[in-house]
Chains A and B, each alone.
Chain A
Amino acid sequence: MSVNNEVDLFDIAHKEREEQAAFRRTVLCCGSTACLSGGAQAAIDAIQAGVTEKGLQQEVRVVATGCMGLCSRGPLVKVRTRGEDDVLYADVDAATGTRIAEEHLVAGKPVEDVRMSLEHPFFARQERVVLENMGEIDPNRIEDYIAHGGYRALRDAVTTMTPAGVVGIVQRSGLRGRGGGGYPAGSKWALLAKAQSDQKSIIANGDEGDPGAYMDRTVMEDDPHRVLEGMAIAAFATGASKGYIYVRAEYPVAVRRLEQAIRQAKRNKLLGKNLFGSEFSFDVEIRIGAGAFVCGEETALMASIMGQRGTPVLRPPYPTERGLWGHPSMINNVETLANVPTILRRGPDWFADIGTETSRGTKVFALAGKLNNTGLIEVPMGITLREIVEEIGGGVAGGKAFKAAQTGGPSGGCIPAKHLDTPVDYDSLMALGSIMGSGGLIVMDEDVSMPEVARFFMRFCMDESCGKCLPCRAGTYEMHELLEALIAGRGTAATLVRLETLCDVVRTNSLCGLGQTAPNPVLSTLHYFRSEYEALLVPEGAHLAGLPGAHGATAAAHAGAAAGRSAAGERSA
């Protein structure tokens, strides 16, 4: 416990705020991966060049921030002037950047023809907790995070609270796991806190494998310190000393930003030994995946961290009893952990007031598909799908009719138009045969064929099945074959019956969540769009040749074939 270990957050925050306040204007430019691919760098350079050329360096600060949300209208730029309302620009290219510099920054007149109202429903209908710093701070600078209240929750927890007190706050907030399952976070924390061991670990699950989801990616890339702070608070509350962030290899920018954030936090003594002069020490390591959807499952993820094949094992024992290298471990989703600093800062009651009785707080969604506005949104739980699709999403693009909203990725389902007024919370979505999932929300219009959607997800599950248990390995293969047969016009009424039977077998007999939920896209599309399947059926006897499993004798052969494929390392490209 040396004085050297104490860090004065107030000093850092104060200095940073003073430096920022010295500028009359701040130009916040979206520098997220999406906007960069849309030419944001050229826009930022043009604005910066304009500022330099006009000698405004003392007056105007240009910052590349994280994601501002409305990816379909990117690159986005926000001009903030002391004493004035913010001005937002959409679709900014280099030429527009130059105009913003000349007309707005120099002459003080907003460029009206590229301006976008901040009252636009896309922004107005959102409520930001996890994403509160997005578009506000420079993700490369820890000082900016601290100036926005960062690491204050950790300091207060470590210096003024007991671990049990922190667990109590998370329990009272009603926070549930944001990875999709919705298990109460506080209960999980309490389990790890109770476990007796001299070594415990916290794992942040950033293996965002659902195709169509990029919430965690954005949080890790654009507000990395929030993840670290959430992990450190969880570690303090549960008595853990070691943290791992498991990130998909497909997210190299997230890996780099997190590495940098860890270095900065260590340098500022916000990670490491004896934090804030206490007995509490905590270190974080990054582990990179290598492309396996099943590694989002807790036990598979831990196997992967230990350098093994990511195959799940039966639970119990749960990771909080026996996890990494046999020690008690706890896995929380990145978004779950990202909620924690704000919950501590603003109090559990404030958080519990947002959302519904059983689903507290907000949820981040990656809004994609055939909508006018696509991007990253954060909404209070309990908002209806209709509000998300029609108001925030601006309705279906090209004047087409809405057909379905897909949530929960390969483990979820398709929700039809008649249920658009359903509130978005864990239980309501479950009742509709879908799940909240990690937050992918993809809207499909009238042109999308539901059996093809089911086949798309089944192919994904078939490819991603780890091959350990037979119901999933052979079942997903067989279901994919049956869907292929139906779509190719080789399916009869019996094919449909077999498909439904198999859904039940795979759902009830698979070892882990991947197999247990793999039939969901089929079941939900069959439930709501059965006529589309029936329209594909041919009479019994027609095209019988080549119909998989038509004689009931080939299932075993397929099972064998699937096993062979999994074992032979057919993953090589």
Chain B
Amino acid sequence: MSAMPSPGAARTRPAAAAADDPRAALLTTQLKKVRYRADALIEVLHAVQDIYGYLSPEVLHTVADALQLPPSRVLGVATFYHLFSFEPRGDHICTVCTGTACFVKGADALVAGVSEAFGVAKGGTKEDRSLSLLEARCIGSCGLAPAALVDGAMVAKATPERLVETVRTAMAAAPAASASAEPESPAGGVA
């Protein structure tokens, strides 16, 4: 009578290709948490990105198997949303907000400043994977525009000089464990 996906239909399956990979166990935990429900696909993709840092074809196939969805559907959903990344990001992430308030107050100069100082393309990752430079639609801190995030920590009322300095300091310190590990940070941006 109802088209609501039934949790009872879920099957337990091996969650990731390499059984000795601790990340696979983490993913399995997440899959169990959503009871292998197909309508939880977006939540699962968030979990994959948190655990692996990006969505690889192998893990997408694993997700398709686990949720009993065609791989085309999983790829279709994953590519629709901006926040999912299909390649590994840098050790450090600088996300410049390019919302309207930040645009009006010179977000372009922030992007150009970081891009120039570190030789990293807008929306890209340095070849040595030390830094990614992303743009975010709007991080909702318009009262503090222009704003940027360096490894999840906000740089408010930023200038190109101060942002470059903050990135340099972050890169000089030990590599960030992972930008996504910072709980207070917005999830990042998009090219």
CB neighbors of A among B125-148 (8 A): 125, 132, 134, 136-145, 147
Q: Once the chains bind, are B140 and A251 in contact (CB under 8 Å)?
A: yes
CA distance A466 to B100 in the complex (A): 21
Known: A213-B142, A291-B137, A370-B105. A307 touches B42 (CB 8 A): yes
Q: Once the chains bind, are A211 and B41 in contact (CB under 8 Å)?
A: no
CA distance A167 to B16 in the complex (A): 50
Q: Which of A92-100, A138-146, A270-278, A440-448 contacts B (4 or more CB under 8 A)?
A: A440-448
Shortest Cβ distance from residue B65 to the other chain A in the assembled complex, whole angstroms? 16
CA distance A367 to B123 in the complex (A): 28
Q: Which of A17-25, A313-321, A565-573 contacts B (4 or more CB under 8 A)?
A: A565-573
| Residue A288 CB within 8 A of the other chain | yes
CA distance A304 to B185 in the complex (A): 23
CA distance A448 to B102 in the complex (A): 12
Q: Once the chains bind, are A214 and B142 in contact (CB under 8 Å)?
A: yes
Question: What residue in chain B is nearest A295 (Cβ atoms)?
Answer: B81
CA distance A211 to B104 in the complex (A): 11
| Residue A293 CB within 8 A of the other chain | yes
Which has the most chain A C-beta neighbours within 10 Å: B42, B98, B186? B42
Q: Which of B18-26, B71-79, B165-173 contacts A (4 or more CB under 8 A)?
A: B71-79
Q: Once the chains bind, are B46 and A288 in contact (CB under 8 Å)?
A: yes
| Residue A250 CB within 8 A of the other chain | yes
Which residues in B have their C-beta under 8 angstroms from that of A288? 42-43, 46
Which has the most chain B C-beta neighbours within 10 Å: A211, A249, A311, A376? A211
Known: A375-B143, A573-B132. A307 touches B137 (CB 8 A): no
Q: Once the chains bind, are A571 and B143 in contact (CB under 8 Å)?
A: no
Q: Once the chains bind, are A211 and B132 in contact (CB under 8 Å)?
A: no
Which residues in B have their C-beta under 8 angstroms from that of A33? 140-141, 184
Q: Once the chains bind, are A573 and B81 in contact (CB under 8 Å)?
A: no
| Residue A265 CB within 8 A of the other chain | no
Which residues in A have their C-beta under 8 angstroms from that of B86? 569, 572-573
Q: Once the chains bind, are B132 and A409 in contact (CB under 8 Å)?
A: no
| Residue A212 CB within 8 A of the other chain | yes
Q: Once the chains bind, are B190 and A573 in contact (CB under 8 Å)?
A: yes
Which residues in A have their C-beta under 8 angstroms from that of B189? 573
Question: What residue in chain A is nearest B155 (Cβ atoms)?
Answer: A37
| Residue A374 CB within 8 A of the other chain | yes
Question: What residue in chain A is nearest B137 (Cβ atoms)?
Answer: A211
Identify A573's interface contact among B45, B104, B191, CB under 8 A.
Answer: B191
| Residue A493 CB within 8 A of the other chain | no
CA distance A37 to B156 in the complex (A): 7
Q: Once the chains bind, are B134 and A573 in contact (CB under 8 Å)?
A: yes
Shortest Cβ distance from residue B53 to the other chain A in the assembled complex, whole angstroms? 12
- Indicate with 1 or 0, residue by residue over B15-40, a CB within 8 angstroms of chain A CB atoms: 00000000000000000000001111
Pairs A–B under 8 Å by Cβ, sample size 9: A37-B153, A71-B144, A199-B2, A307-B40, A368-B145, A376-B143, A440-B101, A573-B87, A573-B191
The 7 tightest CB contacts between A and B, nearest first, are A71-B143, A569-B79, A211-B99, A291-B82, A290-B81, A212-B100, A37-B154
B interface, CB within 8 angstroms of A: 2-4, 37-43, 45-46, 75-87, 89, 98-101, 103-105, 123-125, 132, 134, 136-145, 147, 153-154, 156, 183-187, 189-191
A interface, CB within 8 angstroms of B: 33-34, 36-38, 71-72, 74, 199, 208-214, 217, 249-253, 256, 287-293, 304-311, 325-327, 366-370, 374-376, 406, 409, 440, 442, 444, 448, 456-457, 460, 466, 568-569, 571-573
